[in-house]
Amino acid sequence: MDDIVITGSNPTLSQDIKTHIGSQFHTKDTGPLKYFLGIVMAHSKKGLYLCQRKYTLDILRDSGFTSTRPADFPMEQNLMLSDSNGTILSDPSPYCRLVGCLIYLTVIRPDIVHVVNILSQFMHQPCQPHLDAAHHLLHYLKGTPSQGIYLHAMSALHLTAFCDSDWASCSMTRRSTTGYCIFLGSSPVSWKTKKQTTVSRSSSEVEYHAMAVATCEITWLSYLLKDLGVQSSLPVPLHCDNQAALHIAANPVFYEHTEHIEIDCHVVREKVFQGLIAPTKIDSADQVTDLFTKSFGRPQFLQLKSKLGIRGSGPSCSTLRRSISCHIQIELIFLI
């Protein structure tokens, strides 16, 4: 490890920790946090803005897309990719290297998580349509290199969760896609998109599995906030747009058609009984997690993206530019 961030509410204690580490190892204090592992931090009294602008521009430069035409959304609507259509790439290494870089970009960019999840499923044998889809994503990144997450300083410290699934979305295996997003106040702090490991015969089953996965993440985050001394209001609203899944969570009696998801039922019901979560019905039009399980055209994509809290610039564009400029100067110093 050669990079570390020290934070806390007690400046004296933080300084003592840095002094102790410096007495044991050769370290260098670079001052207030501005750049860490490819992530730019722009501070203000109103909050903290996180983006990966320089990392995104590096990806575009390495791929030869710095002068390309930008796109408004990351993936063509209703595009179905499989491992049997198109010509197999003679050299898969550029595709694999590109997807590997894009995976790290999802740390701050939840708007591209669904696309990167699909592209990563073809790294064993990429074809030309897969590369074309990856290039379309680069067109989208060309128009949005500075977009990231804004963490509000005065936001309420309570969790809100959304979960959703796309039933049998994989054309090759007919497995479903699960997605969830969890907010701390108005800022997204945890999100995930993953293809389920088994084939489900009902949409209620896949929706309930998404609810169970989100419940496990909520449990972990609640423990983390408790360890940090943050009092979060309970129960945590868990928004789901499937009425059948909500009925299963509320019904204490197992029926024959729910025996195959018994473990998920116990996970969710136990947390409901403990008062940790409160499953809540939400309209499909307000389900922000759709962005993690489906591809949309421009109007729907921009609408869901705005609800996620993704912004094109932080509290001050000039602050962000100074942070990036400062990092570039530091890199030049090390190169010299």
Same domain? For 46 and 111 the reply is yes
Instruction: Return the ∠ at Cα 266 (arms to 264 and 267), rounded to 5°.
Output: 65
Q: Is residue 301 part of a domain?
A: no
Residue of 138, 141, 145 whose CA lies nearest to 51: 145
| CA 168 distance to own-chain centroid | 22
Same domain? For 75 and 36 the reply is yes
Same domain? For 274 and 192 the reply is yes
Residue of 71, 27, 22, 50 whose CA lies nearest to 319: 50
**236 has which bridge partners?**
277
Same domain? For 185 and 220 the reply is yes
Which CA distances in Å does 295 have to 54, 58, 181, 291? 26, 26, 16, 7
CATH code of residue 236: 3.30.420.10
Count of CB atoms situated within 10 Å of the CB of 90:
5
Q: Is residue 23 part of a domain?
A: no
Which CA distances in Å does 130 have to 20, 65, 119, 127, 230? 51, 17, 7, 5, 44
Q: Is residue 45 part of a domain?
A: yes
Q: Output the CA torsion sign for 99, 312, 67, 40.
A: negative
Q: Is residue 24 part of a domain?
A: no
| Lookup: tokens for 108 | 């701050």
| Lookup: tokens for 292 | 């993690």
**272 has which bridge partners?**
none
What's the predicted TM-score (pTM) here? 0.82
Residue 153 is classified by DSSP as T
pLDDT at residue 186, as a whole number: 87
Instruction: Report d(CA 134, CA 141) in Å as an integer.
Output: 11
Q: Which domain holds residue 134?
A: 30-147+312-335
Same domain? For 287 and 178 the reply is yes
Q: Is residue 178 part of a domain?
A: yes
Please answer whether residues 70 and 140 qualify as being in contact, where contact means their C-beta atoms are separated by less than 8 angstroms: yes
Q: Is residue 234 part of a domain?
A: yes
pLDDT at residue 330, as a whole number: 33
Q: Is residue 9 part of a domain?
A: no
Same domain? For 139 and 162 the reply is no
Same domain? For 164 and 261 the reply is yes
Same domain? For 160 and 282 the reply is yes
Residue 279 is classified by DSSP as E
Give the pLDDT means over successive 10-residue stretches in the chain (336 positions): 79 89 86 85 86 92 91 87 86 94 92 93 91 94 90 87 85 84 91 84 83 92 90 89 82 54 72 90 87 86 85 51 43 31
